[in-house]
Amino acid sequence: MDVITANILTIIAFTPAVGAVLILFFNSAKIRSIRMFAFVITLLTFVFSLHLVTYFDSRVAEFQFAVNVPWIPSLGVHYELGVDGISLYLVLLATVLTPLAMLASWSIASRAKEYFIFMLLLETGMIGVFVSLDLFLFYVFWEVMLVPMYFLIGVWGGERRIYAAMKFVLYTMVGSVLMLVAIIALYFLNGNATGTFTFSYPQIMAALASNSLVIAPGIERALFLAFFLAFAIKVPLFPFHTWLPDAHVEAPTAGSVLLAGVLLKMGTYGLVRFSLPLFPHQSQLFAPMISFLAVAGIIYGALVAMVQPDLKKLVAYSSVSHLGFIVLGIFSFTTQGMEGAVYQMLSHGVSTGALFLLVGMIYERRHTRMIADFGGLAHKMPVYAAFFLIVTLSSIGLPGLNGFVGEFLVLLGTFGVSRSLAVFAALGVILSAVYMLWMYQRTFWGEVTHEHNQTLRDMNRREYAMLVPLLALIVWMGMYSNHFLRPMDASVAKLINQVQSRDVQVADQNDR
Amino acid sequence: MVKLLWLIPILPLLGAVINGVFGKRLPKHVVAGIAAGSVAGSFLISLAAFFQMLQLPETELPIVQNYFMWIQAGRFQAQFGFLLDHLSGLMILIVTGVGLLIHIYSAGYMSHEPGFYRYFAYLNLFMFSMLTLVLANNYLLMFVGWEGVGLCSYLLIGFWFFKKSAADAGKKAFIVNRIGDFGFIIATILIFWTFDSVDFQAVFSRLENATLFPVETLGTVGTVTAICLLLFVGAAGKSAQIPLYVWLPDAMEGPTPVSALIHAATMVTAGVYMVARSAALFDHAPGALLVVAVIGTFTALFAASIGLVQTDIKRVLAYSTVSQLGYMFMACGVGAYAAGVFHLMTHAFFKALLFLGAGSVIHGMGGMQDIRKMGGLRHHMPWTFRTFLIGSLAISGIPGLAGFFSKDAILWAVWNSENYGKLLWTIGIITAGFTSFYTFRLVILTFFGKPQYTEHDVHHVHESPVSMLAPLVILAILSIIGGYVGIPAALGGHNNIEAFLGGEEAGESSAEMILMLVSVAVAFGGMGTAYLFYVARPDLPDRVASSVHAMYTILVNKYYIDEIYNVTVVRPILRSSREFLWKFIDTGIIDGTVNSVGQVVRATGSGLRHIQTGYVRTYAGWILFGGVLMIVWFLR
């Protein structure tokens, strides 16, 4: 057991990659066996990831299941992994959503071999981002995950897939290149100050904590902004969001599910993991501005979502709105706000993942996503309509379901810091009901007006298999939030402590 | 039985799950049996728990049971836990009792519906939500029930979802309720940051610290006043008060038993219940109380005035409900929470009765709802007529019936209020006259006179089956005797209900006797006017309508409030979101900038490409140029 525990993160992160390599040996005509194999690999990854939940010690704030071996010794690059209460369930989110996304890829026929290879590589990239503790390694995973996504959108996407794929990559690259510069700067600053040239995040944090590394405020601001821009684009925070609707609309269903469900969380995760602890003072300085952008995004995303004629675009803009809540919670620097933000990351992954799966199902049947092409679907697909309704309710934050917990905690935490921000953010809660229910009404209620919709069949078994786990999570997370919140406590407390106390020290130095 | 408190909401939830998942494959009587049976179980447990509670000494109340931690983060905690005291005990009896009758009635009323199982699943889910709302021991859990009942209301209003009007009405109800919920959730958050808890007992006990939380003065908005005002925004949404009442009349698109249960007897009274539950807070906020009283009073009058001219049997009752809810808030607003809850109870009986009676009429008339096309139905539907008449007498405040006692309790409390009490009382008494007029207008047009329908419109008018009539009879009995728990001191009673709910009675006074006589006179006056207008002088309504034509048009069009909201709120938001935010800001400015950066890069790239000519002589030239530049640089 010890061997497994010691290497569990490596196993989880690289099982999909190994699977991808093995698929190379498959005959590309045997689509059925390829996709079954890929699916089994992701299921296996999921099972491995359960090990984390089982053996995770909630009392500990430090990184667990840690691995640390030199990778490129000459540069001080380490293969250093670990999870804490914040990243624990994000890994799970990736391992839960990927098999479901695989099931949503059953109809992929052209270049299936390449498709499933990219999907598996994507999973490795996603998990890698959440478990890397070495900044260099983190950056590698961060970029690695771009490549399969680029191809998934660009090859298996919709009509404007090339435009969307390019936009996605270029937007992200702009941010990440700056982040790379900041990482290298941090490496040299730390190396020069302490004599140890390393990319290790824990080591740099230790240097900062012991004051052996002190970053001048001007440089600190530049570094903070470089990291921030990379993450803000990924989130995406208003006004860096316009890549998202295009990427979502053009991506194949599985791509949208993973994009919205997991990839967006890499941005908010980055803010929590790196921006706040590395640059607490700058985080505090910029917090009012960032919170303002977050609230602007909440309302803006909701209003724009309201008038979208395309289901996927509507969900995409709703993500802009929901992700605003996450950023708002993070920059409240309160326990409630922070835990709410992490909870909302998981919850949004589940709900929006489910929404994209649902939209994908109807797209497969009708080859359109325009709301105007539907209407009265509840007559023909009652079960589908019921599932869709529950997910809709989860997305609009009905208390008792998952979406409420995160949203409420974020509002609660924010209110303790700024009442007006919380009140404006809460307006987003009203608006979410408006755009989601209006969409639901136009899609499912009324009479069937289009001839093509007369012959629609209801959900099949594979589709049940995709949705039932997510529905169970929606209810579970809504009622027993303790299961997901308690493991965060120690890590969140430590994080808030880092932000607050270091802030005091830096402020002191500035006074001197 | 108190130990089984948790079962009270859980039984209907189980019913909802079973019917929702398997109901399609079950025969109708099994579906109805599961649904009604689960509610019957809840009712029995509620009864037992209620009487067991009565045996306990005051010191052991309230009974609190925490089941599990629902949400916890930092110092914030919200348990999943229930609280049973006199107030919630009375409420669960009303909810499960009336709910059970309406489940039984629905089995007959909805028997021809294809979505039978869906209907009962929603109805059971509603019972679960409403009971959670009532039994919750903290504000956040109350909010679960609060939004839950809103959801069920949405689903049930839109039950006939293929009708656009029904779908629109459902959506409108949910969204308007959400505006109220916004107030509720902000209030909950403010409560936490003020009292460090959202638990009822903790909050109310901390309020007792008079140095930290003094009673705030009228005219200033302190924290507690702000909390109460925000809570009242929530209450106004759920209980259909100005300016958020607009969803309730439209909610009549739902099946009639739903209107009876949700949009008359139980859900819409949730706001009143919440204010009564928060009495300790409101008592610290006289400013907020005044707002509650004023809004309640004006809503009562305003809605009653619309009710005067409506011609759809259910819409008359809907505006009547809005108006009666106004009375309840009027009571709460003068601090007479017990009177408000008393009226909540009697109203639950007689308004459920009136709605179910209306449903029986509609059922017998094959779907007809226009009272101008009815008439003479008392011969065809004797039991519906008798029970409907009892309900009408009760709502009009005729002495001896339930509505009389509760309305009198409210008006008496309002009269005694120091803040504009006499003015509010005057409006209240005018409203009482309106109430009695529109109710008897309804009774006369529906049941008396000659039939206004032709055999062509309506074939075979018939009385409803026993499963529908039995609930009517039971509710009629309750509409009579329900008031005797609160006989005022002026009539030699003890007003047990107010004592039970912890209210203070003003004591015996000859003034109360006089006021009572005035309101009785007004009730008979309204009735008499209805008789004059619709029996003695049937030409009068048209003549009055044409003589005050402008006023009449405004009333018929419900003060054009929906249209005003549409023009000032709904359309501007939609338009600016589409044209300004999406097309201009998003696609135009943000994406435009991104794309033009892209184009500049591309243009620069293709410009620079010309440098790469592939001719050695060009490269040599550039090297020479660079060399010269470097030499100049070093020599400068």
Within a domain: residue A117? no
Backbone angles phi, psi at B259, to 5 degrees: -60, -40
Report yes or no: A439 and A377 within 8 Å, Cβ to Cβ.
no
Model confidence at B44, pLDDT cuts 50, 70, 90, reads: very high
B623 versus A185: the higher-pLDDT residue is: A185
From residue A371, alpha-carbon distances to A76, A443, B281 in Å are: 54, 6, 46
User: For A393, which of B75, B151, B171 is closest by C-beta distance?
Assistant: B151
> CB distance A437–B171 less than 8 Å?
yes
Structure tokens at A79: 């293969």
Contacts of B15 (CB under 8 A, 6+ apart): B34, B35, B37, B38, B39, B120, B121, B124
Report yes or no: B234 and B305 within 8 Å, Cβ to Cβ.
no
Provide the shortest C-alpha distance from residue B239 to chain A (in Å). Answer: 18
Residue A508, pLDDT score: 47
> CB distance B72–A405 less than 8 Å?
no
DSSP calls for B518-555 = HHHHHHHHHHHHHHIIIII-TTHHHHHHHHTHHHHHHH
Within a domain: residue A136? no
Q: How far apart (Å, rounded) are the C-alpha atoms in residues A284 and A281?
A: 5
Minimal-distance CA residue of chain B relative to A447 = B162
Within a domain: residue A368? yes
Mutation choice for B interface testing from A173, A233, A240, A242 by most B CBs within 10 A: A242
- B232: number of Cβ within 10 Å: 31
Within a domain: residue A419? yes
pLDDT at B93 over 50: yes
Q: Is A444 on the interface with B (CB under 8 A)?
A: yes
Torsion, CA A98, CA A103, CA A104, CA A106, rounded to 10: 130
Amino acid at B14: L
Q: How far apart (Å, rounded) are the C-alpha atoms in residues B191 and B548?
A: 49
SS3 A441: helix
> CB distance B578–A307 less than 8 Å?
yes
Minimal-distance CA residue of chain B relative to A242 = B591
Provide the shortest C-alpha distance from residue B96 to chain A (in Å). Answer: 22
Number of A/B CB contacts below 8 angstroms equals 129
From residue A269, alpha-carbon distances to A91, A203, A286 in Å are: 11, 19, 18
Q: How far apart (Å, rounded) are the C-alpha atoms in residues B270 and B247?
A: 15
> CB distance B577–A307 less than 8 Å?
yes
Touching B: A residues 89-118, CB under 8 Å = none
The predicted model scores a pTM of 0.90
Residue A240, pLDDT score: 86
Minimal-distance CA residue of chain A relative to B114 = A379
Give B578's contacts in chain A (Cβ within 8 Å). 307
User: For A481, which of B71, B179, B190 is closest by C-beta distance?
Assistant: B71
Q: Is A249 on the interface with B (CB under 8 A)?
A: no
Within a domain: residue A35? no
Give B70's contacts in chain A (Cβ within 8 Å). 479-481
Mutation choice for B interface testing from A293, A419, A424, A437 by most B CBs within 10 A: A437
Mean pLDDT by 10 residues, chain A (512 residues): 82 92 87 91 94 90 90 89 93 95 88 90 94 93 89 86 85 87 91 89 90 88 92 89 87 91 93 92 92 93 90 92 94 93 95 94 87 86 91 92 93 92 91 89 86 83 92 94 91 88 51 40
Residue B503, pLDDT score: 65
User: For A426, which of B168, B182, B193 is closest by C-beta distance?
Assistant: B182
Structure tokens at B470: 């039995």
Residue A512, pLDDT score: 38
Q: How far apart (Å, rounded) are the C-alpha atoms in residues B348 and B324?
A: 10
> CB distance B174–A437 less than 8 Å?
yes
User: For A426, which of B143, B186, B577 is closest by C-beta distance?
Assistant: B186
Q: Is A433 on the interface with B (CB under 8 A)?
A: yes
User: For A300, which of B175, B193, B581 is closest by C-beta distance?
Assistant: B581
Backbone angles phi, psi at B265, to 5 degrees: -85, -40
Within a domain: residue A22? no
> CB distance B185–A482 less than 8 Å?
no
> CB distance B574–A409 less than 8 Å?
no
Give the model confidence (pLDDT) of B510-536 as tens digits. 777 888 888 888 889 888 888 888 888
SS3 A197: coil
Backbone angles phi, psi at A83, to 5 degrees: -125, 150
Structure tokens at B182: 């916004």
Provide the shortest C-alpha distance from residue B233 to chain A (in Å). Answer: 14
Residue A405, pLDDT score: 94
Tokens 């009879």, located at residue: B473
Q: How far apart (Å, rounded) are the C-alpha atoms in residues A42 and A27?
A: 20
**Over residues B225-236, mean pLDDT:** 94
User: For A445, which of B167, B178, B586 is closest by C-beta distance?
Assistant: B167
* DSSP category for residue A70: E
DSSP calls for A377-432 = HHHH-HHHHHHHHHHHHHHTT-BTBHHHHHHHHHHHHHHHH-HHHHHHHHHHHHHH
Minimal-distance CA residue of chain A relative to B588 = A242
Torsion, CA B456, CA B458, CA B462, CA B467, rounded to 10: 150
Nearest CA to B300 among B331, B324, B318?
Answer: B324
Give the residue numbers spanning the domain of A315.
289-512
Q: Which stretches within B136-163 are classed as H helix? A: 139-157
3-state secondary structure A306-373: HCCCEHHHHHHHHHHHHHHHHHHHHCCCCHHHHHHHHHHHHHHHHHHHHHHHHHHHHHHHHCCCEHHH
> CB distance B185–A480 less than 8 Å?
no
Within a domain: residue A370? yes
User: For B73, which of A335, A399, A433 is closest by C-beta distance?
Assistant: A335
Considering chain B, what is the average pLDDT of its residues?
87
Provide the shortest C-alpha distance from residue B542 to chain A (in Å). Answer: 38
Structural domain count, chain A: 1
Element (H, E) at B308: none
Residue A450, pLDDT score: 82
What percent of chain B is helix, strand and coil (3-state, nearest 5)? Answer: 75, 5, 20
Provide the shortest C-alpha distance from residue B172 to chain A (in Å). Answer: 9
Q: Is A374 on the interface with B (CB under 8 A)?
A: no
Q: Is A312 on the interface with B (CB under 8 A)?
A: no
Q: How far apart (Å, rounded) are the C-alpha atoms in residues B268 and A162?
A: 53
Backbone angles phi, psi at B554, to 5 degrees: -60, -45
Provide the shortest C-alpha distance from residue B465 to chain A (in Å). Answer: 30
B176 versus B449: the higher-pLDDT residue is: B176
Give the model confidence (pLDDT) of B298-356 as tens digits. 999 999 999 888 888 999 999 999 999 999 999 999 988 988 999 999 999 999 999 99
Within a domain: residue A478? yes
User: For B189, which of A243, A306, A422 is closest by C-beta distance?
Assistant: A422
Q: How far apart (Å, rounded) are the C-alpha atoms in residues B507 and A427?
A: 46
Torsion, CA A425, CA A429, CA A435, CA A439, rounded to 10: 150
Q: Is A454 on the interface with B (CB under 8 A)?
A: no
